[in-house]
Amino acid sequence: MLPVLEPAELPADAIEVGRIQDAWGVKGWFKVLPHSASPEALFSSKRWYLQPAERGAKTFAGTVRLSIKEAKDHADTVVACAHEIPDRNAAESLRGARIFVPRSSFPSAGQDEYYWVDLIGLDVVNREGVALGQVRDLMSTGPQTVLVLAYAEGDKTLERMIPFVSAYVDSVDLAARRITVDWQPDY
């Protein structure tokens, strides 16, 4: 039986935080593949907004809202259950759905901690004020995170990578949308 899902408007500050991977158990729980190694946003929000998978079968259209009963770590994954999902069949019908959470429901970041989504698009300059590029992406290399910058050289767009560690990052000014680093263009 397909669940009856409430159509909803995607909040203006919604951020995609994961996807529903598959059903988990027989009581309507489902496995979630988070986009972050630290999925606190999934745990802190009691309202998730879903959109259908980009590929494959679509069991619903548009944006729908789920009222989350519980979300938790389980082994190497995240599992969750929602009031609207009564059984395994309903959970299976959500396979591939994209999960969005309002940015306003994220837990506050600690001192010198940043959500990756807040760093995307920031301009990066070195101590001398030389523009090095704009943050296009971040990637985790295990022991550290790396800023992936896009910059123009002539008519080409190139990439530059800078470790996002205190040895190279002097300051992050979210309000000014700028990161200052100890890095040179020819590194």
Q: Residue 15: name the closest of 32, 29, 34, 31 by CA.
A: 34
Give 40's contacts (C-beta < 8 A, 6+ positions apart): 106, 107
What domains can be seen in the chain, in order of their start residue?
Answer: 6-105 (2.40.30.60), 116-181 (2.30.30.240)
Q: What pLDDT is stored for residue 1 in this prediction?
A: 54
Q: Which two tokens stand for residue 80?
A: 């969750």
Of 108, 76, 99, 92, the closest CA to residue 3 belongs to 92
Contact criterion met (CB below 8 Å) for 83 and 6: no
pLDDT per residue of the chain (187 residues) written in tens, 0 to 9 = 567 788 999 999 999 999 999 999 999 999 999 987 778 889 989 999 999 988 877 788 899 999 999 999 988 789 999 999 999 999 999 999 999 999 888 878 888 888 888 899 999 999 999 999 999 998 888 788 899 999 999 999 999 999 999 999 999 999 999 999 999 999 8
